[in-house]
């Protein structure tokens, strides 16, 4: 009588650490840590835009809440995914991008807020439509293009930071007030000292600590007014189309569509970086879904008075430092951001922060953006080619609107919006010059060729170079 041979039961495939669910308490703590790291960079955008366009404190508060709300929604979408159409399903945190600041200020000054949000709506739809094709042509945006653009983004925004500190009207009696300059200098010194002498996670919070320190000092100087906080409700949702029906201006739309391309370059780099950091390289389809989520941020921004979002590089760095790979940690961060966005009192508190305080932090962040762009240019080969000329002409053309704001003053309004933006001008010039001199070269694929590939990286790279890395 023969013995029956037992057939071994196949073990289910091991769950990748990215997909592991942690205990709820740990998820909340680790998610809050992600929020702290990205918070200052995220809320700086509505504060700077509001100050530049001379919006009142209550309106800026609405922008802050809408900004946090939409950033939270996109972060949840990126981490959890929506079917086969949205979300990279990696620990990617989304937040408002600096790349849209300069175009927003130009468009708002020329056409008003409804034109900004009309441009966001169209650029969001544009982003959704091109997400898949763009994932296939990312090689057209090598470091010479992205590094040059990021460098100019930082340089062009320093003017906005200085305006918040000293004022924007040189004829005003309070312009360049020595007290405001001293306050800003003290905040920058605080940020420098924290980075020099502190260690670990505290360094990641240096800008936020500097802001808190600045508010405390400014309160003793009589610069802080929290009167609007008491009148704000504890809970509320941003009113859709708060500034009225969106307006669709051709120049504004073109400018924001170019910004969307910049966002896609940023986010692609950060998604690849975080994928390698957690040992799960994103596929081309993953990248396309992640980019589509950024496009969705444009649609939501147009409806809820928010801002275009991109993947935040500083949170990529946090993933590498903590080695926590679960994407559900980022889901928790997204939920926290949504909840913060539903608290109008919080928006009023942030909107009450004086201009010199925000300006000091902004100067540090924007200068850091420039440095990140320069670091990205280290990857460019300069021997035996015309790359130095490409960068020189592109930066020169991009900085013209900054140093000579009326340079294009005799052009039609539509062209002023496009060429009056240092960022859009730089993108157009450096992209075309790179094609002219270097042609189209396709490098080794940076993403996994097979869907759901789980090839661990031997060594995680530095966080991707991004205008939003602070």
Q: Report, in angstroms and rounded to the nearest whole number, the Rg of the chain calculated over CA atoms.
A: 23
Residue 8 lies in a domain: no
Number of Cβ within 10 Å of residue 50's Cβ equals 21
Query: Is position 58 within any domain?
Result: yes
Confirm whether 12 is domain-assigned: no
441: confidence class by pLDDT, cuts 50, 70, 90: low
Tokens of 126: 């544009």
Name the more confident of 342 and 160: 342
Contacts of 97 by beta carbon, 8 Å cutoff, 6+ apart: 45, 259, 262, 263, 266, 307, 308, 309, 310, 467, 468
Res. 215: pLDDT tops 60? yes
Spacing of C-alpha 440 from chain mean position: 28
Higher per-residue pLDDT: 457 or 97: 97
Is 427's pLDDT higher than 70? yes
Stated as kind and residue range, the H or E segment containing 83 is: none
Distance CA 382, CA 388 (A): 6
pLDDT at 94 over 50: yes
Euclidean distance between CA atoms 166 and 184, whole angstroms = 10
Q: Which two tokens stand for residue 117?
A: 């949000």
Q: Is residue 234 part of a domain?
A: no
* pLDDT-based confidence at residue 458 (cuts at 50, 70, 90): very low
In angstroms, the CA 123 to CA 104 distance is 13
How far the first Cα of the chain sits from its last, in Å, is 75
Is a pLDDT exceeding 90 seen at residue 212? Answer: no
- Say if CB 446 and CB 141 are below 8 A apart: no
Report the C-alpha gap between 58 and 46 in whole angstroms.
12
Torsion sign, CA atoms 421, 424, 430, 436 = negative
d(CA 306, CA 111) in angstroms, rounded, equals 17
Residue 444 falls inside a structural domain: no
* Least confident piece of the model among 112-121, 224-233, 267-276, 356-365: 224-233
Give the rounded distance of the alpha carbon of 470 from its chain centre.
10
pLDDT of residue 64 exceeding 70, the answer is yes
pTM above threshold 0.75: no
Nearest to 462 by CA among 279, 267, 316: 316
The total domain count for the chain is: 1
Give the pLDDT band (50/70/90) at residue 307: very high
- Residue 96: its H or E element: strand 94-96
* Per-residue confidence band for 13, with pLDDT thresholds at 50, 70 and 90: low
DSSP state of 310: E
The answer to whether 195 and 210 are in contact (CB under 8 A) is no
How far is the C-alpha of 104 from the C-alpha of 47, rounded, in Å? 13
Share of the chain above pLDDT 70, in %: 81
As a whole number of angstroms, the distance between CA 174 and CA 10 comes to 76
d(CA 41, CA 469): 8
**Would you state the structure tokens that stand for residue 159, as one six-digit string?**
């003017």
* Whole-number pLDDT of residue 99: 79
Q: Is the pLDDT of residue 5 over 60?
A: no
Range of the domain at 288: 19-226+239-438
What is the reported pLDDT for 350? 67
| Mean pLDDT across 213-241 | 74
Residue 384 lies in a domain: yes
Q: Which of 419, 436, 457, 327 is closest to 110 using CA atoms? A: 419
Got the DSSP string for 141-197? S-HHHHHHHHHHHHHHHHHHHHHHHH-S-TTSTTTT-HHHHHHHHHHHHHHHHHHHH
92 in a structural domain: yes
The closest of 32, 48, 31 to 356, measured between CA atoms, is 48
In a domain, 14, yes or no: no
């Amino acid at each position: 009588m023969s013995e029956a041979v037992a057939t071994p039961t196949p073990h289910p495939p091991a769950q990748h650490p990215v997909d592991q669910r942690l205990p709820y308490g740990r998820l909340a703590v680790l998610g809050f840590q992600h929020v702290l790291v990205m918070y200052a960079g995220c809320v700086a955008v509505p504060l700077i835009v509001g100050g530049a366009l001379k919006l009142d404190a209550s309106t800026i508060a609405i922008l802050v809440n809408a900004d946090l709300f939409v950033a939270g929604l996109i972060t949840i979408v990126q981490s959890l995914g929506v079917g086969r159409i949205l979300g990279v399903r990696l620990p990617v945190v989304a937040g408002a991008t600096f790349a849209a600041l300069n175009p927003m200020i130009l468009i708002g000054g020329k056409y008003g807020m409804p034109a900004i949000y009309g441009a966001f709506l169209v650029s969001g739809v544009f982003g959704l439509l091109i997400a898949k094709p763009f994932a296939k042509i990312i090689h057209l945006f090598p470091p010479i293009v992205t590094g040059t653009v990021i460098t100019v983004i930082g340089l062009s925004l320093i003017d906005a930071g200085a305006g918040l500190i000293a004022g924007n009207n040189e004829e005003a009696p309070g312009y360049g007030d020595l007290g405001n300059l001293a306050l800003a200098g003290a905040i920058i010194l605080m940020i420098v000292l924290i980075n020099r002498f502190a260690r670990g996670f505290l360094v990641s919070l240096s800008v936020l600590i500097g802001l808190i320190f600045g508010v405390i000092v400014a309160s003793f100087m009589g610069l802080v007014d929290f009167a609007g906080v008491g009148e704000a409700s504890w809970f509320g949702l941003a009113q859709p189309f708060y500034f009225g029906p969106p307006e669709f201006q051709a120049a504004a739309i073109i400018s924001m569509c170019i910004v969307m391309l910049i966002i896609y370059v940023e986010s692609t780099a950060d998604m690849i970086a975080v994928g390698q950091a957690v040992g799960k390289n994103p596929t081309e389809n993953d990248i396309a879904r992640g980019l589509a989520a950024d496009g969705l941020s444009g649609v939501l921004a147009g409806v809820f008075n928010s801002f275009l979002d991109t993947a935040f590089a500083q949170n990529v760095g946090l993933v590498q430092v903590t080695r926590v790979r679960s994407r559900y940690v980022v889901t928790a961060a997204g939920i926290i951001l949504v909840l913060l966005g539903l608290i109008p009192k919080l928006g009023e508190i942030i909107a009450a922060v004086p201009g010199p305080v925000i300006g000091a932090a902004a100067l540090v962040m924007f200068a850091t953006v420039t440095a990140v762009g320069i670091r990205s240019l280290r990857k460019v080969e300069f021997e035996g080619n015309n790359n130095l000329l490409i960068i020189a002409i592109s930066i020169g053309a991009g900085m013209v609107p900054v140093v000579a704001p009326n340079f294009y003053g005799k052009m039609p309004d539509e062209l002023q919006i496009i060429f009056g933006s240092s960022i859009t001008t730089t993108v157009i010039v450096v992209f075309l010059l790179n094609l002219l001199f270097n042609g189209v070269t396709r490098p080794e694929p940076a993403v996994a060729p097979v869907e759901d590939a789980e090839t661990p990286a031997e060594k995680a790279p530095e966080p991707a170079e991004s205008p939003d890395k602070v």
